[in-house]
Chain A
Amino acid sequence: MRRFASVLAVVLVSYPLLIAPSPAVVALGAAALIVCILGILVATHVLVAGVVLALAEYTLALWIGGGPPRLAGGVVLGVVLLLLVETADFGRRAHGAVLGPGVVLAQLRAWALFGSLAGGVAVLASVVASVASGAVRLPWAPAVAAAGAAVALVGVALALSAVRVPPRP
Chain B
Amino acid sequence: MITRLTPLALSVVTIGAWGLVLAVLSGRAELAVAVLPLLLGLVRIGRTRAARDWALGRVVSSARIFEGERVAVTVTVSAGEPVALLELFEPLPPSLRLVSGHNRGLFTLGRGQQVEWRYEVECVRRGRVGLGTVHARSWNRAGLEAAETSVRVPAELRVYPRPLPLRRLPSPRRMQAFVGNYVAPSVGEGLEPGDIRAFVPGDRIRHVNWRASLRFRTLFVTRYHQERNADIVLMLDSLNEAGTPPATTLDASIRAAAALATSYLARKDRVGLIEYCGPFRWVRPSSGRTHHERLFEALLRADVMFSYVTQEVALVPRRILPPQALVIAISPLLDPRFEKALVDLAARGFDLVVLSPSPIPLVRRAMRPSVRADLACRLWALERRARADALHRLGITIVDWDPDQPLEAALGGLIPSRRRVAAR
Contacts and interface: CB of A to CB of B under 8 A. Distances in A.
B58 to A, nearest CB: 15
Contact of A69 (B9, B24, B29, B77): B29
Interface in A69-108: 69-71, 73-75, 77-79, 81-82, 85-86, 89-90, 93-94, 96-103, 106-107
A71 B30 contact: yes
A18 to B, nearest CB: 13
A137 interface: no
B382 to A, nearest CB: 48
Interface of B: 1-42, 44-46, 50-52, 77, 84-85, 87, 101-102, 104-109, 115, 117, 119, 139, 141-143
Given A59-B26, A97-B102, A149-B20, A78 B4 contact: no
Contacts of B51: 169
A125 B50 contact: no
B30 A93 contact: no
User: Sorted from nearest, which 3 A-B pairs have the closest CB atoms?
Assistant: A100-B107, A118-B37, A74-B30
Interface of A: 44-45, 47-48, 51-52, 55-56, 58-59, 62-63, 69-71, 73-75, 77-79, 81-82, 85-86, 89-90, 93-94, 96-103, 106-107, 110-111, 114-115, 117-119, 121-122, 125-126, 129, 142, 145-146, 149, 153, 156-157, 160-161, 163-169
Contacts of A110: 84, 141-142
Nearest to B45: A160
A69 B14 CA distance: 24
Nearest to B51: A169
Pick from A106, A121, A122 the residue with the most CB of B within 10 Å: A122
Contacts of B77: 100
Q: Provide the main secondary structure of the chain A interface.
A: helix
Nearest to A115: B37
B50 A89 contact: no
A151 to B, nearest CB: 11
Contact of B106 (A93, A118, A156): A93
Nearest to A102: B108
26 contacts: A47-B11, A48-B15, A55-B34, A59-B22, A59-B28, A62-B30, A69-B28, A69-B29, A70-B30, A73-B30, A74-B31, A74-B34, A86-B41, A99-B106, A102-B108, A106-B141, A110-B84, A110-B141, A121-B40, A142-B24, A149-B23, A156-B13, A161-B5, A161-B10, A163-B4, A166-B50
B31 A58 contact: yes
B9 A94 contact: no
A153 B22 CA distance: 14
Contact of B37 (A44, A59, A121): A121
Nearest to B2: A165
Given A86-B142, A106-B108, A165-B2, A51 B15 contact: yes
Nearest to A87: B143
B360 to A, nearest CB: 38
Contacts of B143: 86, 89-90, 93
A145 B107 CA distance: 43
B35 A81 contact: yes
B33 A126 contact: yes
Contact of B33 (A44, A71, A96, A146): A71
B350 to A, nearest CB: 56
B25 to A, nearest CB: 8
A79 B37 contact: yes
Contact of A85 (B15, B31, B102, B115): B15
A153 B40 CA distance: 13
Contacts of B109: 100
B50 to A, nearest CB: 4
B14 to A, nearest CB: 6
A87 to B, nearest CB: 10
Contact of B22 (A56, A75, A167): A56
Contacts of B52: 169
